[in-house]
Amino acid sequence: MTEYDNTQLLQGLMDLIKTDPQEEVPEQLSRPNPGAIGPGGLLPGVKVAKPKEDPKAIWDPEEVPEVLEDDIDDGREQPEYDIIYRQAVGTEDAYLGMSGKTPSSTNCEQLSVEVRMPLATGIGEIDLDVQETYLRVASPAYKLGVYLPHRVNSDKGTAKWDAGKKVLLVHLPIRRDEFGMALS
């Protein structure tokens, strides 16, 4: 017969390990969970101020649609267009390669968009809207909405109408981060 067959010895071992039953019940603590993230989730009694409304605002942010109006097909034709990367190249680049620029699109400074509109009669009927990532061109005969491959500085862009070729040329500087990489 071994020591473990004796129930009194086993009961003595269990008494050594046993804890007080009142210590076993943990206090009900609130644990943070994904639902507790945000205003008033973790700090009771703290009130978050509402953002100030602009008294001159025409629309509330909830009233502005998230879907672009260009997604609606109204029967106008989409013109042919090309997006071309442009790079300022000097003699140090062409002959000696001293500036470290490569012919790749990562070293380009500008996006040029050429929109061919043969049915357009003049610049007066063309509506151009350039945003940071989106270009919209509209006329009575054409409608183009295209997302740009890189973020551009829409305030410093230029547009020119070539009446002979009936082409709209839009030149947009590419926005870069602090390391010189294009923002996309």
* Single-letter residue type at 48: V
Task: Report CA torsion sign: 104, 105, 107, 113.
Answer: positive
Q: Report DSSP state, residue 116.
A: E
Q: Would you say residue 157 has pLDDT above 90?
A: yes
pLDDT at 105: 74
Residue 80 pairs in a beta bridge with: 116
Residue 122 counted as domain residue: yes
Lookup: tokens for 52: 């100030």
pLDDT (mean) for 95-115: 81
Residue 179 counted as domain residue: no
> Residue 108 sits in which domain range?
76-173
More confident residue, 97 or 123: 123
Check which CATH number belongs to the domain holding 148 and give it.
Answer: 2.60.40.790
Residue 17 counted as domain residue: no
pLDDT band at 139 (very low <50, low <70, confident <90, very high): very high
Tell me the whole-structure pTM to 2 decimals.
Answer: 0.58
Residue 24 counted as domain residue: no
Residue 108 counted as domain residue: yes
Count of C-beta atoms within a 10 Å radius of residue 101:
17
Residue 145 counted as domain residue: yes
Residue 58 counted as domain residue: no
Q: Per the structure, how many domains does the chain have?
A: 1
Residue 139 counted as domain residue: yes
**Residue 79 in contact with residue 117, Cβ under 8 Å?**
yes
pLDDT at 102: 72
Residue 81 pairs in a beta bridge with: 115
Q: Would you say residue 101 has pLDDT above 90?
A: no
Task: Report CA torsion sign: 96, 101, 102, 105.
Answer: negative
pLDDT tens-place string over residues 17-64: 877 666 655 556 667 777 666 655 545 666 767 777 788 888 777 776
